[in-house]
Structure formats: C-alpha cells, structure tokens
Amino acid sequence: MVRDDEQVDSMEIDEKKQQQLEAPTAVPEGFNTDYLRVYYGKLFPYGDFFKWLCYGNDGKHPGCDQSYVGRREFSFTLENDIYLRFQSFDSATELESSIKEKCPFKIDIGPVYSVDPSKRHAYAQSGNNVFVPVERELIFDIDISDYDDVRYCCSGADVCLDCWPLMTIAIKILNTSLRDDFGFSHILWVYSGRRGVHCWVCDSRARKLSNEQRAAIADYFRVYKGGENALKKVSLAGPVLHPFLAQSYMDVLKTFFEDRLLLSQQLFSSEERCQKILDLILMKGLRRCVEEIVFSYTYPRLDMEVSKHMNHLLKAPFCIHPKTGRVCVPIDPSNCDDFDPAAVPTLSQLLGELNATGFQSDSDNSLERTSLGKSISFFRTSFLHPLLKACKEELESAYNAKLQQSKNSLNW
C-alpha cells in the first residue's frame, strides 16, 4: 500500500524530470571548432544562401547562365588566421561539403569574375588579362567604432543600447534613399555580429555597376568628410540642403538628436563636451550651424572603400562572429528600432537549443525550433523570394528578347 506522502514525492520527482527535459541543456559560452562543426552541420542555411547568390542561374531556365555562380569568389578564414581566397563552387552541395570539411571561422563573399577564380592561374599563363570582376552587389559597411568621437558610453568594438541607435539611424537613412532616390528594391541589411551593419543591394542594376558608378553613389551619401584630427568634419555646401539631406534631417536626424542622443550621450554634461559643440559653430547662420552639428553627431559614416570597388570582400550573412559568438543575422529595416544586438542568438545558445530539441530531428525541423529560425524565415520570405521572383522575370524577358531577335534575323 502506497502512502499519500509517497505519492506526492513521486509526483514532485516526475515534475522535476519533466522540467529538466523541457529546459535547454546549457552549453558553456564560447567559440571553437567543435561548436562550429555542429552549427555548420545542423543550422547553416546552405540552400537559401546558395539560391540567393545564384540569382536564378541555377540551371532550371533555358536562359540562365550556368557558369554564373561558379565564377563567384568565396573566401574562408580558418583557425589561426589561415586565409583561403578564390574558392568557388558549382552547387550548394559542393559549398556545403567544403564548409563542413574546412569549418571556416569566417566566410567572406567576393565578386563574380569573368572566369572561375579557382582557375585564375591557368588563364594568367595565357597572357591575356581575362580575370576581372564583372558583377558584384553594391555594398555598404558601417561600424559603430567610427562614431567614437561622438559617443561617450562605449568605445572601440563595444556597443550598448545607448549608442546602437546610431546604427538604426544609418539603416533608416540609407534604406530610404536607396529605394526612393535610386529605385532599388532588393536590399538586405545584416548585423555584422559585433559592432556594425552591412548592406547588400542585390538588384540586377546594382550588381552591374562599374567602380566609377559605385563611387558616385557612395559619394552621394558622403557628408562626414573630416580626417581623424580635423576639428570640423561636416561642412554642408550651398545656401540650402540637398533634398535628400533635408529629408533626412527633418524626418530622422533632428528628432533623434534632440530626443535621444542629447540625453543618452549626455552631450552637455561637462565643459569639455559643451566646448566640443561650441567649436563647431563658425561665422555662419545659426540654422546652418545647428544643421551641421546634428549631421556631425548623427549622420551615417560609411567605409567608402568598401562601396567603391567591386573586388572588395564582405562577411557573409549567417556567419558566427568569433569575438562575440553571435550570428550575423538579417535586420528588418521596417522594424530596426526594435533590433537589439545583445539579443542576437549566440553559438552556445543555439547549441543548447539543439540539445533541448534532440539531435535526431531533421535539419529543417531543428532550425525552426531554435532562435535562429525567425531570422532565416525573414531572410527567405522578405528578401529571397521577392528577389528570385524578379530574377526569374528578368531571365524570361531576356530569353524571349533573344528568341525574337533570332526570329527576326531568320526573316531577313
């Protein structure tokens, strides 16, 4: 006969066992090869990643360029800073096998070249300069460390919720202008994993821009021009602001400066900080002085060289940053105010979630049950699917035009 108190003890033990099963199995924080192998084996979205970089050239349409993705450069950084440049892959399976085998600490994406980059030496021996970049996304790189002269909460690679809004402002201003002023539609914003954001403009027009055209677009956004030792780093030309700058100032910068930055960075909390602002006031009209102060403290600061040249490498989305262990996840520009870099899943966190769900489940199911699933779903539905739809339409249009041209030539 079982006593009542024995039944209670048994129920408590069962509940504790159930809680242990339901709770994520903790994984020590860190970044190492063993952790990465699990991530690359279970969570990295190879299929979606490869579809993106194919831009519809996957062999399913008669008008596609089947050599396209095989001419794309991938760069792997292995443990102990071993660099493997000019990697290339003809299929998602090849890419997946190489990543799982080499377990890179970082993956960078380069341009599409005129020939397979892994065979560049063979072409070089011919004496013809045929190995050149021919296509590349228009990219932007913005780091919070470039704002160290106007933020007082952090410095270097450190970031907090008081200074991260500077990245949010950069996203808002560039995203609006790229869409409204340049007519681009397929724009991917990605958290760098530590201290900044990356922007990939993936429209066909953007990918085919020359270096000169890229430099012109980058210069269009350039307001912050001062060197490290320059006292005055923003000088707005003309009697009135350019329409793009005026819209940025009225819609975003002015309110952010007055309502957020003044308080979060305590810009008037010391004589030194006050004097810094006073030093920006020259013999100009008061309104222009105020505008230049606001732009100096809030306007996006781009790494110009990254945007100007086709052959520049940029870290791939869904990499793990080795210093923080955080995933380079996409950022929704329409909800970028809600993005918190400290809430981005870490490698250890994801492995703990995998432990909780069990490693026997299939890869897709495992992914959906981790905190990374939401980011990959956003990448797929908000960016990849509309992009591939547009690519298919462009391929269809170009193919039909080519057929019509052939018919016309036969009629002659």
Query: Is 73 assigned a catalytic role?
Result: yes
Q: What angle do CA 338, 342, 347 make, to 5 degrees?
A: 120
Q: For residue 12, give the H/E element and its range.
A: helix 4-22
At 286 the pLDDT is 75
H or E element in which residue 143 lies: strand 138-143
d(CA 302, CA 308) in angstroms, rounded, equals 11
Q: What is the pLDDT of residue 238?
A: 79
| CATH class name, domain 33-228+303-404 | alpha beta
Distance CA(371)–CA(8), nearest Å, equals 36
Alpha helix positions (H), 59-203: 92-102, 120-124, 165-180
* Domain definitions of the chain by residue range: 33-228+303-404
Alpha helices in 80-191 (DSSP H): 92-102, 120-124, 165-180
Type of residue found at 175? N
Main-chain dihedrals φ then ψ at residue 289, nearest 5 degrees: -60, -45
Q: How is residue 158 written in tokens? A: 């450190």
Q: What is the pLDDT of residue 125?
A: 65
pLDDT recorded at residue 234: 84
Say what the pLDDT of residue 160 is.
95
**What residue spans of 159-285 are helical by DSSP H?**
165-180, 204-207, 211-220, 243-248, 254-256, 262-264, 271-278
Give me the half-sphere count of Cα atoms (radius 13 Å) on the Cβ side of residue 30.
7
Catalytic residue among 108, 137, 141, 291: 141
Whether residue 94 lies in the annotated active site: no
pLDDT value, residue 236:
86
116 is catalytic: no
pLDDT at 277: 86
- Which residues have a Cβ under 8 Å from the Cβ of 279 and sit 6 or more positions away? 231, 232
Which one from 143, 203, 292, 353 is the annotated catalytic residue? 143
| Cβ–Cβ under 8 Å, residues 75 and 383 | no
Mean pLDDT by 10 residues, the chain (412 residues): 44 42 63 94 96 91 89 96 95 97 97 93 71 96 95 94 97 98 98 97 98 97 72 78 95 95 92 87 75 94 95 97 96 97 96 79 69 96 97 89 73 58
pLDDT at 148: 94
Integer Cα distance of 71 and 94 in angstroms: 14
pLDDT confidence of residue 58: 86
